[in-house]
Amino acid sequence: MQHLEIEEPFEIARALERAGVEIEVARVFAGHHVPSDCSAFSSVVVMGGPMSAREDEGFASRRAEIALLRGAVERGLPVLGVCLGAQLLAAACGGSVRVGEAGPEIGWGTVELTDEALNDALFSGMPERIPVLHWHSETFDLPPGAVHLAGSSKYPNQAFRIGERAWGLQFHLEVDEQAAASFVAAFGDEAIAAGAIPSAIDEASGQALGLLAPQRDRVLDRFAALVGSPMRSKDFHGDSAALPSR
């Protein structure tokens, strides 16, 4: 599920392709429908976006995406929610999403892995702290039964797992140089409003990505290995049925 043209799957897509996984992209910003269920899929990945996971206004596909995520978790499919996608996953599994009391978290920062991450299928063997790109103003409470995997000094809930195969990442692990530059170009005003300097984010990207890349690739390759299917990349336009009513 892709909500904005610039917020592509980036390194998630490359990891899936390396694993021989068929990728179908529902570009909701271009009018693609959300699949009515996940029975035809081996995995669901939901990307980020500037809309709120708390309300339907400006986010017509919100309820359909939550239903899709809930169904994927119930089926035990590998699931990955990034930023907005993590908030939607939390909501789908009984957690609550709210405006972050500490204000927006934007730019390069560090997340610290929890002890529970030591035995996680994606995060085991990772360094205790990893640099990541933050770009959010909302946060969430962990759903019942969730395993807490990472936090930051500003927001404690940065990564979690539901069951054995569904992960929510509040931060942007998937970024490469192009992605980081795209975020700054598209959302520089948000960075300034949050007290960050867009040019400083750009300047920090090279060093941060140098540290992040091997950890990013390890996590995403592990996720892709859980999915595993023949590769064929295409757009997904869904069926002709309308989205569920509000």
Taking only the tens place, the pLDDT of each residue in 13-59 is 999 999 999 999 999 999 999 999 999 999 999 999 999 999 999 99
Query: Which residue intervals of the chain are DSSP H helices?
Result: 11-18, 62-75, 84-92, 177-193, 198-227
What does the domain layout of the chain look like in residue ranges? Answer: 11-235
- What are the residue numbers of the active site? 83, 172, 174
| Amino acid at site 25 | V
Per-residue confidence (pLDDT) for residue 228, from 0 to 100: 87
Residue indicated by tokens 């990945």 = 45
The whole-angstrom separation of Cα 136 and Cα 190 is: 10
23: its two tokens: 């990728």
| Amino acid at site 153 | S
Beta bridge partners, 113, equal 150
Question: What DSSP designation does 31 have?
Answer: T
Residue indicated by tokens 């699949």 = 35
User: Is residue 229 scored above 80 in pLDDT?
Assistant: no
The whole-angstrom separation of Cα 61 and Cα 28 is: 8
Q: Residues of 17-51 as b/e, b for ≥16 C-beta within 10 angstroms?
A: eebebbbebbbbeeebbbbbebeebebbbbbbbbb
What's the Rg (C-alpha) of the chain? 17
- CB-side neighbour CA atoms (13 Å) of 3: 21
User: Is residue 235 scored above 60 in pLDDT?
Assistant: no
Look at 30-39, 179-188, 226-235 and tell me which has the smallest mean pLDDT: 226-235
Task: Give the list of residues 6+ apart from residue 81 with CB closer than 8 angstroms, or none.
Answer: 45, 46, 69, 87, 88, 89, 90, 166, 167, 168, 169
What does the pLDDT average to over 91-107?
A: 97
The whole-angstrom separation of Cα 124 and Cα 121 is: 6
- Residue 85: count of CB within 10 angstroms of its CB: 27
Provide the whole-model pTM.
0.92
User: Is residue 234 scored above 50 in pLDDT?
Assistant: no
**What digits encode the pLDDT tens for the residues 122-173?**
999 999 999 999 999 999 999 999 999 999 999 999 999 999 999 999 999 9
CATH of domain 11-235: 3.40.50.880
Per-residue confidence (pLDDT) for residue 233, from 0 to 100: 41
